[in-house]
């Protein structure tokens, strides 16, 4: 990703320190956090300093490496087990987090010298980050031809650079098309309650120079009805074996609207988001977050000072599901780093075993 012309990844490892772009501060401040222990990395995931399926997977992999690097000889396995359980407890929905932890566990399993285990954990965590970035780039190449020219794409939440190590998923075909000279513009939904669309998607598209129009979540149907949307492209946090997709709350209603208006609805995700152990969307654990996220909102005052304000009466009853499930039948297709497929059991199984 480019920030003011400089290339960054969303999260990376320097020695035994995890460094990441603090997404709680964007778009108002660009700050890099330094996390010295796996406990600090786990807290950054829980508190969404780093968020997005791929990025939290990469951060979790680095957290495992931190645990191995900090452990004395004779305690590496125990440290990794503690780190795995702390990292698993941070956020339940995105498959990538669990995938990353399982990958590190697999490379350190069995008898080996402590130094070898530390090295393997560090190398595997770095490989995960590189694979995540490469998958995003590839999704960009594979997804780009789906965009007409000119293209007006509606996206939800943030499945861009910031949600992965680099490139992203839903935004990757848009970046690819834009860099290749195709006329592409984006409608970004605000994405209440945490406003990832308003805060992050609008910011990163502006960094890349892609024209972006921000709309309230409530305006998506009207934009489609006016014929302003050619394609809906969103990310995924977990894809079940049958093609049902968990993604940011509000995705399901966009899929229903897209079908009503006969607009193609694609989900872009790396294969690390696919969970063959999860038969359908009904089994995907859906994170519930604090009521405060709905009742309070944050931003800058007219004078440019950070402020947090209440927008609902004291004592309001709240439900804050962070994700919803879109049934596979609503998807036009899945865009992965291995190709575009139909969202159905057999196609997914073939893709995963290819
Ligand atoms: O709660 P978040 O911000 O971590 O949610 C993840 C997301 O940004 C979205 O659901 C996104 O569309 C898929 S993650 C690449």
* Mean pLDDT value across residues 329-346: 98
10 Å CB burial of residue 112 (0-12, 13-18, 19+) is: middle
Which helix (H) or strand (E) segment holds residue 84: the answer is: helix 76-88
The values of phi and psi at residue 265, to 5°, are: -125, 105
Is 273 within 8 Å of 240 (Cβ atoms)?
no
Distance 157 CA to ligand 1 centre (A): 6
Residues above pLDDT 70, as percent of the chain: 100
Query: What pLDDT does 349 receive?
Result: 98
- Say yes or no to pLDDT of 5 above 90: no
Does the pTM surpass 0.85? The reply is yes
* Residues known to be catalytic: 237
Pocket of ligand 1 (CB under 6 A): 51-54, 157-159, 163, 169, 196, 234-237, 247-248, 322
Final residue of a structural domain among 110, 138, 166? 138
Partnered with residue 209 across adjacent β-strands are none
Give me the domain span that covers residue 344. 143-353
Domains in the chain, number: 2
Q: Are residues 274 and 327 part of one domain?
A: yes
pLDDT digits (tens, 9 = 90+) for 178-205: 999 999 999 999 999 999 999 999 999 9
pLDDT digits (tens, 9 = 90+) for 230-250: 999 999 999 999 999 999 999
CATH of the domain at 189: 3.40.50.10470
Query: Which of 47, 99, 157 for mutating ligand 1's site (highest number of atoms within 8 Å of CB)?
Result: 157
Q: Are residues 191 and 161 part of one domain?
A: yes
Q: Are residues 213 and 120 part of one domain?
A: no
Q: Which of ligand 1's atoms lies nearest the C-alpha of 269?
A: 15
* Mean pLDDT value across residues 52-81: 97
Give the chain's mean pLDDT. 97
Query: What pLDDT does 210 receive?
Result: 98
Q: Which of ligand 1's atoms lies nearest the C-alpha of 247?
A: 10
Query: What pLDDT does 354 receive?
Result: 85
């Amino acid at each position: 990703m480019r920030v003011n012309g400089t290339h960054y990844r969303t999260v990376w490892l320097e020695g035994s320190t995890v460094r990441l772009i603090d997404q709680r501060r964007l778009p108002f401040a660009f700050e890099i956090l330094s996390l010295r222990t796996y406990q600090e990395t786990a807290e950054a995931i829980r508190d969404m300093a780093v968020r997005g399926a791929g990025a939290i997977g990469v951060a979790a992999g680095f957290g495992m490496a931190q645990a191995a690097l900090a452990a004395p000889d004779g305690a590496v396995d125990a440290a990794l087990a503690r780190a795995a359980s702390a990292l698993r407890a941070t956020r339940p929905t995105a498959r990538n987090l669990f995938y990353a932890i399982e990958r590190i566990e697999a490379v350190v399993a069995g008898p080996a010298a402590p130094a070898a285990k530390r090295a393997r954990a560090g190398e595997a965590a770095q490989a995960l980050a590189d694979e995540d970035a490469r998958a995003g780039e590839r999704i960009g190449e594979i997804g780009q031809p789906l965009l007409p020219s000119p293209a007006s794409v509606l996206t939800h939440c943030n499945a861009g650079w910031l949600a992965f190590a680099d490139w992203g998923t839903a935004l990757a075909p848009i970046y690819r098309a834009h860099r290749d000279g195709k006329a592409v513009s984006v409608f970004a939904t605000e994405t209440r309650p945490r406003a990832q669309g308003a805060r992050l998607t609008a910011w990163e598209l502006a960094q890349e120079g892609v024209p972006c129009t921000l709309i309230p979540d409530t305006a998506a149907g009207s934009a489609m009805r006016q014929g302003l949307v050619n394609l809906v492209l969103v990310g995924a946090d977990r894809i079940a074996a049958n093609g049902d997709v968990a993604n940011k709350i509000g995705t399901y209603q966009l899929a229903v609207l897209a079908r009503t208006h006969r607009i193609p609805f694609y989900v872009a995700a790396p294969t690390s988001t696919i969970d063959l152990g999860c038969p359908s969307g009904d089994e995907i654990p859906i994170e519930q977050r604090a009521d405060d996220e709905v009742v309070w909102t944050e931003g800058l005052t007219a004078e440019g000072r950070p402020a947090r304000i209440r927008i609902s009466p004291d004592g309001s009853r709240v439900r804050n599901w962070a994700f919803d499930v879109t049934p596979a039948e609503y998807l036009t297709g899945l865009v992965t780093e291995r190709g575009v497929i139909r969202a159905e059991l057999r196609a997914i199984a073939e893709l995963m075993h290819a």
